[in-house]
């Protein structure tokens, strides 16, 4: 609890009062209607996909052990096979929803991607997931073979280490190009202002897949990097707006959000692994391949159940990054324009329903972010 | 329904060095004649197709003409690719040492006739992998017969012809394994042409025993045992390549270690005349594991293999115990293995086609077609034998023949002969370990 309290602390002033703005005053009715309509379908698509996912995994947990007859491998190899089959079923079950999402995105001019591309463009990533689940099951089943029901005590540090490794190398997993000199200069300036070493900055060309703007911070230590999507630099956003995005991403590094995320993961890994161990006891525990389908169901169920908490933590970090970015650029006007464009260009619902915010909101809503910028302006006068 | 085309082989393996040396030049008149005949055969096949659609069977005249063409193309391929020695005639008359026995004219299902060109595509793909470029001639740009030519120029038969040319020139005889493999490819191509040219509506069967005579399998240190009923889970078939990813990673890592181990093993075998026991065990497991993964990926095997190369997989390699190896063979292994690598390349191409077509078929039917599986088994066995040879597990050269079992008059060995664990004796007879393939 102490660790959680410590991780929850941010630079956002306590008791910050946000002004109560109305979306009607910020956007034209047609813009609002378009963004809300777009987001409404995607929310339904998400709900249906999660429901189907749970049903499929529940059925797999119930009957999946029969796939052991497809294996001539030993205990762990068979477990790997069942894990991969589980992923395969998950992928299959999500195909209609991905297609529906693509159809909707195309309808609203959010992507040029074709349907076949949607299905098959990510096979490389799917292959990586297959390999990852094999590695995870290798660790878990080997530990369960050694320590039986107490495998989770040893497994949690393993997985924290593994996630740390992936976080460390993540910047190298996507092809990027180096940013231009102006962006590099801004990056250095903002890092100095935030009291941190400048991370590397690069641009990822996503124009073939989407028109949505985005940026992210990845890596830690020597691999720290800020990546801007090419869609952010295609002329639709002013220099001031791009600078605010850059300052926001640098803030993720200066406030150590990647490492904080790892620490949060470490806090949840132990109880999560314990719950899986308890749930699979009646199937012979994670030592037995027959328990793998059930463990997948429990894992996905836990992830879904904990998503409100995960999203709350993520929103908290994003708020802090927004705050630090405003402190750095001192330009709330650019922030307001930028967030408004998230609605007018990327069709982000400015004020989504509360349940959607809980389940899907990794960032504060557009309205909240504009209110946040206004609060900063008021406070800085 | 008409019968299936099969191959008769009465060749005695002897070759005239002179005609071998000039084989390609000597074959030139035949190649020109075959091209002309192919043009006529394509037109005849179209006429036969229309007539068969109407009457339910091809006209007698056209059937005879196309049979003669097919027989002739088999003879030319056999001559060109060293599967036979005598200079063939120009009329496709029966009596050649490698001979296509073609089905009598019979009734054919009209829907199969209507869709013949489409239905034949998988067989054409297999022909491209194992067949011969000469069959069907080819020079034109249209017509069913040309597909085989265009696609099969690098097939197994061509490899056999290339290697057989050197061997026959040096020895005055064609190696049995290469001859059988060439004849098998030619025989399968004859089946494909019989199907395409409407001589029969029986689909080509890649099972070597359905193509030609009972090829005999001599004893070999590396054999293959098959205990697989061909049923496949559609789900694991659909995701087969992704499911194999962890095996690819593991096999890559293991391969690096195996190469290093083989190098050390080679030095040990040069000095002591046999492999080092721990390295031998390690390399045997690698050979077995590699075969398991290959079988799994290409759907020759159904079940997910283990990661340790332990025996027990449904498509499994039988391996030798530690045996004495010729120092000369060990010393020149890197050169001696080159022909085997070439044949392996041909078999790997066949396996690729087997995997692709098997994937489609198993996805629809939930079963691996027997003919394709058997071709896959033969290919996996050869790849395992090549692996075992170049990794100094055995000094017995890979046997290229598509044979599945020992000759009928030689009983299968049930029990491996006991070996002196230390191999101290002055001479060791090579143990007869191969138990052949059980289909």
| pLDDT tens-digit readout, A193-221 | 999 999 999 999 988 878 888 999 999 99
* Per-residue pLDDT at A18: 84
Tell me the residue ranges of DSSP E strands in A91-162. none
Q: Is residue B433 part of a domain?
A: no
Same domain (yes/no): B236, B117? no
Q: Is residue B286 part of a domain?
A: yes
* Per-residue pLDDT at A380: 79
Instruction: Enter the tokens of residue B379.
Output: 């290919």
Backbone CA torsion sign across A286, A292, A295, A300: positive
Q: What is the dihedral of CA B430, B435, B436, B437, to 10 degrees?
A: -150
B223 sits in which H/E element: strand B223-226
Distance of alpha carbon A170 from alpha carbon A218, whole angstroms: 6
* Per-residue pLDDT at B48: 95
Q: Nearest by CB to B304, which of A81, A123, A131?
A: A81
Same domain (yes/no): B295, B247? yes
Chain B residues near residue A123 by CB distance under 8 angstroms: 242
- A306-350 pLDDT tens trace: 999 999 999 999 999 999 999 999 999 999 999 999 998 889 999
Same domain (yes/no): B263, B360? yes
Same domain (yes/no): B257, B117? no
| DSSP conformation class of B274 | B
Q: Is residue B304 part of a domain?
A: yes
Q: Is residue B422 part of a domain?
A: no
Same domain (yes/no): B41, B183? yes
The domain of B27 spans 6-211
Which of these three, B211, B244, B266, is where a domain ends? B211
Q: What are the structural domain ranges in chain A?
A: 27-380
Q: Is residue B426 part of a domain?
A: no
Cβ(B356)–Cβ(B126) under 8 Å?
no
Same domain (yes/no): B236, B263? yes
Counted domains in chain B: 2
Instruction: Enter the tokens of residue A35.
Output: 């963004």
Chain B residues near residue A67 by CB distance under 8 angstroms: 233, 235-236
Same domain (yes/no): B175, B230? no
Residue of B nearest to A76 (CA): B306
- Give B 309-348 residues with CB within 8 A of chain A: 310, 312-314
Which of these three, B177, B211, B245, is where a domain ends? B211
Q: Is residue B244 part of a domain?
A: yes
Q: How many residues does chain B have?
A: 439
Q: Is residue B217 part of a domain?
A: no
Chain A / chain B CB contacts < 8 angstroms: 66
Q: Is residue B82 part of a domain?
A: yes
* Per-residue pLDDT at B417: 40
Same domain (yes/no): B17, B146? yes
Instruction: Enter the tokens of residue A337.
Output: 């324009």
Same domain (yes/no): B292, B356? yes
Chain B residues near residue A74 by CB distance under 8 angstroms: 306-308, 310
- Give B 291-310 residues with CB within 8 A of chain A: 292, 301-308, 310
Same domain (yes/no): B14, B156? yes
Strands B98-101 and A177-178: unpaired
**Per-residue confidence of chain B (439 residues) as pLDDT tens digits?**
568 899 999 999 999 998 899 888 888 989 999 999 999 999 999 999 999 999 999 999 999 999 999 999 999 999 999 999 999 988 888 889 999 999 999 899 899 999 999 999 999 999 999 886 544 444 444 444 443 433 344 589 999 999 999 999 999 999 999 999 999 999 999 999 999 999 999 999 999 888 888 888 888 889 999 999 999 999 999 999 999 999 999 999 999 999 999 999 999 999 999 999 999 999 999 999 999 999 999 999 999 999 999 999 999 999 888 888 899 999 999 999 999 999 999 999 999 999 999 999 999 999 999 999 999 999 999 999 999 999 999 999 999 999 887 766 544 444 444 333 333 333 333 333 333 343 2
Q: Which residues pair with B225 in a beta bridge?
A: B316
User: Which mean pLDDT values do the consecutive 10-residue runs of chain A (381 residues) have?
Assistant: 81 82 87 93 95 96 91 91 93 93 91 84 84 92 91 91 92 86 93 93 88 91 94 91 95 94 92 94 92 95 94 93 93 92 90 92 92 88 74
Which of A73, A76, A92, A120 has the most B C-beta neighbours within 10 Å, making it the best mutation to test the interface with B? Answer: A73
Same domain (yes/no): B110, B175? yes
| φ, ψ (nearest 5 deg) of residue A217 | -110, 140
Which of these three, B370, B390, B410, is where a domain ends? B390
Chain B residues near residue A141 by CB distance under 8 angstroms: none
| Residue B202 CB contacts under 8 Å (≥ 6 apart), including other chains | B1, B2, B3, B4, B103, B194, B195
Residue A124 near chain B (CB below 8 Å): no
Residue of A nearest to B243 (CA): A84
Which of B248, B304, B306, B311 has the most A C-beta neighbours within 10 Å, making it the best mutation to test the interface with A? Answer: B304
- pTM here is 0.81
What mean pLDDT value characterizes chain A? 91
Distance of alpha carbon B379 from alpha carbon B189, whole angstroms: 18
Say if the Cβ atoms of A126 and B242 lie within 8 Å: yes
Residue of A nearest to B309 (CA): A73
């Amino acid at each position: 609890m102490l660790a959680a309290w410590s991780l929850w602390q941010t630079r956002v002033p306590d008791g910050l009062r946000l002004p109560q703005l109305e979306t009607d005053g910020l956007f034209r009715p047609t813009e609002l209607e378009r963004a809300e309509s777009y987001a409404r379908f995607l929310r339904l698509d998400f709900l249906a996909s999660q429901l189907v996912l749970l049903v499929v995994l529940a059925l797999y947990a119930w009957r999946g052990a029969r796939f052991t007859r497809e294996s001539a491998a030993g205990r762990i190899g068979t477990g790997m096979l069942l894990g991969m089959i589980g992923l395969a079923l998950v992928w299959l079950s999500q195909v209609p929803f991905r297609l529906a999402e693509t159809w909707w995105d195309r309808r609203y001019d959010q992507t040029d991607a074709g349907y076949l591309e949607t299905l098959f463009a990510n096979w490389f990533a799917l292959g990586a997931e297959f390999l990852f689940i094999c590695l995870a099951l290798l660790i878990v089943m080997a530990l369960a073979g050694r320590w039986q029901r107490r495998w989770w005590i040893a497994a949690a540090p393993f997985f924290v280490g593994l996630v740390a490794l992936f976080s460390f190398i993540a910047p190298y997993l996507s092809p990027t190009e180096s940013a231009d000199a102006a962006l590099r200069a801004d990056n250095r300036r903002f890092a100095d202002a935030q009291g941190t070493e400048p991370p590397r900055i690069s641009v990822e060309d996503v124009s073939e897949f989407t028109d949505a703007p985005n940026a992210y911070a990845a890596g830690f230590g020597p691999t720290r990097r800020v990546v801007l999507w090419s869609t952010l630099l295609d002329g639709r956003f002013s220099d001031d707006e791009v600078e605010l995005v850059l300052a926001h991403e640098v803030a993720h590094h200066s406030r150590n959000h990647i490492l904080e995320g790892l620490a949060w993961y470490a806090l949840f890994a132990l109880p999560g692994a314990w719950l899986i161990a308890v749930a699979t006891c009646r199937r012979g525990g994670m030592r037995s391949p027959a328990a793998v389908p059930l463990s997948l169901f429990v894992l996905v169920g836990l992830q879904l159940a904990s998503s409100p908490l995960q999203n709350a933590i993520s929103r908290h970090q994003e708020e802090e990054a927004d705050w630090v970015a405003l402190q750095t650029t001192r330009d709330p006007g650019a922030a307001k324009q930028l967030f408004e464009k998230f609605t007018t260009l990327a069709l982000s619902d400015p004020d989504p329903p509360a349940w959607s915010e809980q389940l899907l909101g990794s960032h504060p809503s557009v309205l909240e972010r504009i209110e946040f910028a206004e609060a900063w302006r008021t406070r800085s006068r | 329904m008409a019968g299936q085309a099969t191959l008769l082989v009465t060749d005695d393996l002897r070759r005239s060095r002179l005609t071998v040396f000039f084989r390609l030049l000597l074959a030139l008149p035949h190649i020109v004649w075959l091209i002309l005949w192919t043009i006529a055969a394509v037109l005849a096949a179209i006429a036969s197709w229309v007539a068969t659609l109407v009457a339910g069977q091809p006209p007698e005249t056209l059937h005879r003409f196309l049979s003669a063409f097919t027989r002739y193309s088999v003879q030319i391929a056999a001559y060109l690719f060293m599967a036979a020695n005598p200079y063939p005639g120009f009329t496709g008359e029966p009596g050649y040492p490698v001979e296509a026995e073609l089905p009598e004219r019979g009734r054919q299902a009209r829907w199969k006739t209507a869709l013949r060109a489409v239905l034949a595509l998988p067989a054409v793909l297999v022909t491209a992998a194992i067949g011969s470029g000469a069959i069907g001639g080819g020079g034109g740009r249209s017509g069913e017969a040309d597909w085989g030519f265009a696609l099969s120029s690098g097939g197994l038969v061509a490899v056999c012809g290339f290697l057989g040319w050197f061997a026959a020139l040096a020895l005055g005889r064609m190696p049995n394994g290469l001859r059988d493999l060439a004849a098998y490819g030619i025989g399968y191509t004859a089946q494909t042409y019989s199907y395409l040219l409407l001589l029969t509506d029986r689909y080509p069967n890649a099972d070597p025993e359905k193509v030609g005579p009972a090829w005999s399998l001599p004893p070999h240190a590396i054999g293959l045992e098959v205990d697989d009923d061909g049923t496949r889970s559609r789900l694991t078939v659909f995701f087969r390549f992704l499911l194999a990813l962890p095996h690819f990673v593991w096999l890559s890592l293991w391969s690096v270690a195996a190469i290093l181990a083989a190098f050390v093993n080679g030095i040990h075998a040069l000095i002591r005349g046999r492999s080092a026991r721990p390295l031998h065990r390690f390399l045997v497991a690698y050979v077995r594991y590699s075969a398991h993964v290959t079988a799994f990926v290409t759907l020759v095997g159904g079940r997910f293999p283990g990661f340790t190369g332990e025996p027990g997989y449904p498509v499994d390699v039988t391996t030798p115990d530690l045996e004495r190896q010729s120092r000369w063979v060990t010393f020149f292994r890197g050169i001696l293995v080159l022909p085997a690598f070439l044949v392996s390349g041909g078999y790997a191409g066949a396996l690729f086609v087997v995997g692709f077509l098997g994937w489609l078929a198993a996805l629809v039917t939930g079963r691996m077609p027997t003919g394709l599986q058997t071709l896959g088994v033969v290919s996996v066995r050869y790849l395992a034998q090549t692996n075992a040879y170049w990794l100094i597990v055995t000094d017995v050269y890979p046997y290229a023949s598509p044979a599945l079992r020992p000759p009928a008059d030689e009983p299968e060995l049930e029990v491996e002969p006991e070996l002196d664990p230390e191999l101290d004796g002055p001479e060791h007879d090579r143990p007869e370990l191969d138990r052949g393939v059980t289909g």
